[in-house]
Each structure stands twice: as C-alpha cells, then as structure tokens.
Amino acid sequence: MQYFLNGFRPGDPRIKAAAPKRPAAYTEGGIEEVDVLIVGCGPAGLTLAAQLAGFPEIRTKIVDREPGPIEKGRADGVNVRSMEMFQAFGFAGTVKQEAYWANETAFWIPDPDHPGNIKRNGSVKDVEDDLSEMPHTLISQARIHELYLDIMRNSPSRLEPDYSLKLRDLTVDTSAADHPVTVVLERMEPDREGQTVTVRANYVVGCDGARSAVRTAIGGELRGISAYQAFGVMDVLATTDFPDIRMKSIIESTSEGSVTVLPREGGYMFRLYVQLGKLEQDERIADRKVTPEQIVAKANRILHPYSVDVKEIVWWSTYEVGHRMTDKFDDVPQDETSTRNPRVFVAGDACHTHSPRGGQGMNVSMGDTFNLGWKLIQVFKGRSDPSLLHSYSAERWNEAKRLVDTNRDWTRATSAPQGESELKKTGIHIAQEQFNLNRTFTGGLAVCYPPSVLIGDAKYQERATGQTVGKRFHSAPVIRLADAKPMQLGHVAEADGRWRIYAFAGKGDAGQPGSAIHGLSAFLESGEESPVVKYTRPDEDIDAVIDYRAVFQQGFREISHGDMPSFLKPSKGIYGLCDYEKVFCADLSGGKDIFDMRGIDRDNGCMIVVRPDQYVAHVLPLDAYGELAAFFGGFLLPVS
C-alpha cells in the first residue's frame, strides 16, 4: 500500500482526502444531472459504485428501493476469483480474517446397507493446489456490502447511496449527446410515498435484480427454462450430532432429496440448502406456503440418522430453480451497434439467473460490473471512445451463457432422483464427480475472453504458458527488490482503472544497458510510439494510464535497485518522489519460482499486458514495440 505521495496526512490511509465539494448539478427546470446512475445496491451495483467513487470528477448516484443496507441473508459464497478482485479493492485481508474458509468438501451418500441413512463417502480439497493464492470463503452478503460501502464513504467523492427510491420510468433520447437518459424515481418512505424525482444521466446501470425495472424499460426479457425444483435455505444456530457440520458438505439421501451444509463466519452459524421437491409446471413455490419448521423437518429426514436441533433461525427463504438470461446486456439492438453507442446497461440478476448450485450468483454479478467499471472510467476520462462500451455486453453475455449452461447441467445431474446409476463402480457419486469436474468453474476461473480490440491473439502464448491470453492474470510469489518484501505479484494491481505491463526478464538480464528490459524501459519512457508517451497527459504521473513493472530471475541479493533503468524508478507526485515498488525478483525460497509456476520463457522473457479488471490482454516478446503500440492504439485516444 502506497501513500504520502503528495504530502503527509495523519490517520487511516484508507480514508482518502476528500475532493473539493461539488454541488449537485441541476437543469434550469430543477432536474438533477449525473454522469452515472446505478439502480440497485446489491453486489453488482456496489462493485461499480466502489470503482467510480475513486473518481470524483465522475458524478455518480446510486439508488435502491430498500430503506437501508441489508443486514443478513442472501448470498454467502465468495469464490477465489472474487477474492482476487477484493484484493484489488483492498479488503481481501478483512474477508480472509472474518470469513469461513472452505478448504475441504465432504460428500455424504445413501448407505446401501441402511437406505434410510446417509454415510460419508470421502472428501476432496475444495480449491485445487495453485488454482489461486486466495481461499474460497463464506461470509454474509451484508458484510460484503458493508465493505464496499466503507470504500465509497472513504473515497475522494464520499459517495453514499440514496435509499427508498425505486425506478418508475426510463427513456433514452437517442438524438441527444448530453445526458440522454431520463429516469423517474419514486419515493418509498411512508411520509413521501408516491412522490417522484427526475434524474438525467449520461449512463444508467440496472443492478436491480431478476425483476429489473431497468431491463424492462429497455425491452429486455429473461428467457430460459425452469427446473421446477424448489429449495429452502436458512442460516441457523443449532446443535447437532452430524459430524461434518463445520465442513462444507454435500449430502444426498435415497428418497428425500439433498442438503448442502455451508459453515459460516463466526464459528457457530451454518447455512442449510434443502431440496424441497419438484414443482408442477403451473406451480410456484409460494403456493406451498412453506414454513421454516417444514424446512428443518425435511433437512432432518435427509440427514438421518443424524439430526439438527435449531435454536435460532437467523434468516430463511425459499426459491425456485430457473436458468434464464436476456438477449443483450445493453440498450442497443444488435443491428444498430455500428451506428449507436450504449447508454443503459444491466448487470447481475437483472440479466442472468440460475441455481445457487456452485455459488456463482453474487460472484458473477460482481464480475459483470468489475468489467464495466473501468470501461466507463476510460470513456469519462477521455481515454477511449464511447464505442468501447459495446465490449461489455459482448464479453459478459458469452460468459453468462457459459455460466447458465454449466449450472443447468450441474443442477440436472445433482437433483435427479437417486438410483443405482448415481453411484459409479469407482465409488464416486455423481455429485462428487460433478464437483470435481467443475472446480475451475466454481472458482470463477473458467472465464476466457476471446480475441477482440481488448484481447490480443495467442501468437506468443508459448512465452507464458501459464498466463492464458483472455483469462485472469495468475499471481505468484515474488520478492520486491527495494525492500526485500515477499509478496504476490498480482497484489500490486488495484481497482484504479489502470493497465499493467509486467516485463519478465530473460536469462542474464539484470536491467543493464543493452538488455531487453533496458530497451523496453527506454521505449516506454521516451519512444515516439510509446503508449505511455502517447496516452499520458503532461499533468499526470507517468504511470497514470499504464503501470509498468519488471520481474527478474535473479535473487534480490544479486542485483541492485540503483542499477535499474530510470523508467523503473519513476519520479511522481508534487515533490517528484521516487517510486521504489516497480521492480521484483523471483522468490527462490520455495523450489519453483514465478517463472516455473507460470511457464515464463526463461531464455527470452516476455511482457504480459493486463487489463484493469486483471485479465491477460496480451503476451508479447520484450522487443515487440510495434505490436505493443498497435494494441493500445486500438482503443486508447492520443493526448491532444
């Protein structure tokens, strides 16, 4: 964590200096004008708001129909990809400290000798070795919201949500260049119920759930299928003789269905997902008027011969399993994408819904707006043309489709009636088989964006076989040269809208004149076609757009920070202070180093270009200056 760049400030460095207070902007008719209006304070909405809050020049407003933040319930699983994202926001450490870590998953199946009972059928590691440096955690969605809200409150813009407001109407004036989206919000407080507020925005993002009013306003519709499966879910404090109550457990019974046990933060509470049975085609779960007592009774029938004695129900709900998504994640019809740029977007449950099997709902929703946020920032800062925003729907729709399809197949396989075919000759139950097959998916690491203006080709993939172009950047241990600090290389990336170039040195390269690292550094610092020179404004720090770092194969005692090229020791801020945190060495203490772990070409090295949302955009040779310049030239606008 770096601070004091522009002068000493006492107190918590996470509380940023407040930007000069900007009064709200209104038209002559008294209509508020904002740059971005976010509808919905769920995980998707808050992920976006937390990003935009760091840029006070972007007028951001976030509203929600609820009277205030949620306190309990809803989602609880945070996969490793989301934990990597939380690291960029700065609160992964807090989540790791507070949350339950799902290190192992146990499987329970019908006892063939006593079909009314269940028996343990082994367990597997929940997160495969070196899948991520982060754990799979379980923690209340309300706590995740609180951590995002803290970032917003402590940001330069001091952003706070406006509660008790629901969207009544939304229209887009496609002929207007400035604030073309008009939104009518309706107040929901008892003393002002029915009163309206009109807001004009440059962009609106609907993060308002499966019954999204934003999606409806732009003509979107969730299409798909229902699995006609009903589930109950509850967070409880209880006593039990079930031996794996503090281990994530997937439990299948002979005839009563399944239960998933998810231990929760704090050491005592746990969640039960209880299969309640099939629904008729014209039946809704609400028609059954399910009570929490019925859910507990069903759980006990599945758990037999074990039982759960519930002392307190913290939260409970019922739901139906469905797999649906909308045709497009923005307001531009497919046949108009060449002539019109999007102004309205939908994210999270507003554009895709699915079973909670695999725990992907909150995670994918946050991934949606982490993808959108940096693109909006680039457009507002004048770094990219607004046409860049088409890439949001293009990238995230494909990934949502993969999610819905995989989740549907998994749900079908694990919700079918039990029979002899469910247990293979190997002794592996179908639920366990599906779990093993989908660990990369459930970890959030199956996302792979195809080649586009923002993702290069795989021409040089052999230079870094463990950093797949289009997939997230896979961190590994390094040693920071200036202070010999062991750390994860990926943890230098913050949710600040910047691109990264990681230059991995080849054999014998110590940054000396004539070396590949020295040549690349010189090109980036002063080359006529350098993307740093072309796209960084004179009043900005040299790494404001592209953050350049180097990693050497030698141990930290073998090379000197003083010998590094000047571009790896940049002067920044109002005092011209040196940034000492740009250079790293391989961590040689654990056998395999980052070059081995990530398949980096030791002889020649390479550079890896990483997007602001932590996805690998390109792998290039260290001397591929022209290809590097051409890549950034595809979407960045030169400084005028």
Where are the chain's structural domains?
25-92+137-222+326-393, 101-135+225-321+407-440, 461-633
Among 162-176, 229-243, 317-331, which is the least confidently predicted range?
317-331
CA atoms 492, 496, 498, 499: torsion sign: positive
Residue 506's nearest CA partner among 627, 578, 602, 594 is: 602
Confidence label for 424 from pLDDT (cuts 50, 70 and 90): very low
Residue 394 pLDDT > 60, yes or no? yes
| Residue 357: pLDDT over 70 | no
Strands of 114-125's sheet in order across: 114-125, 104-111, 248-252, 258-263, 270-278, 223-240, 308-325, 352-353
Q: Say what percent of the chain tops pLDDT 90.
A: 84
| The CATH number, out of the four listed (3.40.920.10, 3.40.50.720, 3.50.50.60, 1.20.140.10), of the domain defined by the range 25-92+137-222+326-393 | 3.50.50.60
CB hemisphere CA count around 45 (13 angstroms): 32
Res 130: pLDDT? 95
Question: What's the pLDDT score for residue 428?
Answer: 62
For the entire predicted model, the pTM comes to 0.95
- Helix extents (H) in 416-564: 430-437, 439-442, 516-526, 531-535
What H or E segment, with its residue span, contains residue 114? strand 114-125
Work out whether the CA dihedral 177, 200, 162, 187 comes out positive or negative: negative
Does the pLDDT at position 2 exceed 50?
A: yes
Higher pLDDT, 23 or 552: 552
Confidence of residue 435 (pLDDT cuts 50, 70, 90): confident
> How high is the pLDDT of residue 442?
87
CB 109 within 8 A of CB 414: no
Domain at 101-135+225-321+407-440, CATH from 3.40.50.2300, 3.30.700.30, 1.10.3210.10, 3.30.9.10: 3.30.9.10
pLDDT tens track for 397-423: 988 888 888 777 766 665 655 554 344
**Residue 214 has which token pair?**
């934003």
Quick one: average pLDDT of 291-311? 97
**Over residues 518-530, mean pLDDT:** 98
Q: What is the pLDDT of residues 529-572, one digit of tens each?
A: 999 999 999 999 999 999 999 999 999 999 999 999 999 999 99
The residue ranking higher by pLDDT, 112 or 403, is 112
pLDDT(586) > 90:
yes
Q: Say whether pLDDT at 575 is over 90.
A: yes
Kindly tell me if the per-residue pLDDT of 193 is higher than 90: yes
How confident is the model over 40-60, as a mean pLDDT? 98
Is 80 exceeded by the pLDDT of residue 426?
no
Three-state secondary structure call for residue 396: helix
Per residue in 56-102, pLDDT (tens digit) is: 999 999 999 999 999 998 899 999 999 999 999 999 999 999 999 99
The residue-averaged pLDDT of 163-180 equals: 97
When mean pLDDT is compared across 28-32, 312-316, 375-379, the lowest value belongs to: 28-32
Is residue 431 scored above 80 in pLDDT? no
* pLDDT tens-digit readout, 436-491: 888 888 899 999 999 999 999 999 999 999 999 999 999 999 999 999 999 999 99
Higher pLDDT, 322 or 456: 456
CA-nearest of 25, 392, 57 to 179 is 25
Name the residue among 106, 104, 109, 113 with its Cα closest to residue 424. 109
Residue owning tokens 């809200």: 149
CATH 3.40.50.2000 fits 461-633, yes or no: no
Q: What is the average per-residue pLDDT within 30-56?
A: 97
- The reported pLDDT for the residue numbered 415 is 61
pLDDT of residue 134: 98
549 vs 628: CA distance, rounded Å: 15
* pLDDT score at 421: 38
Report which of residues 26 and 469 the model is more confident about. Answer: 469
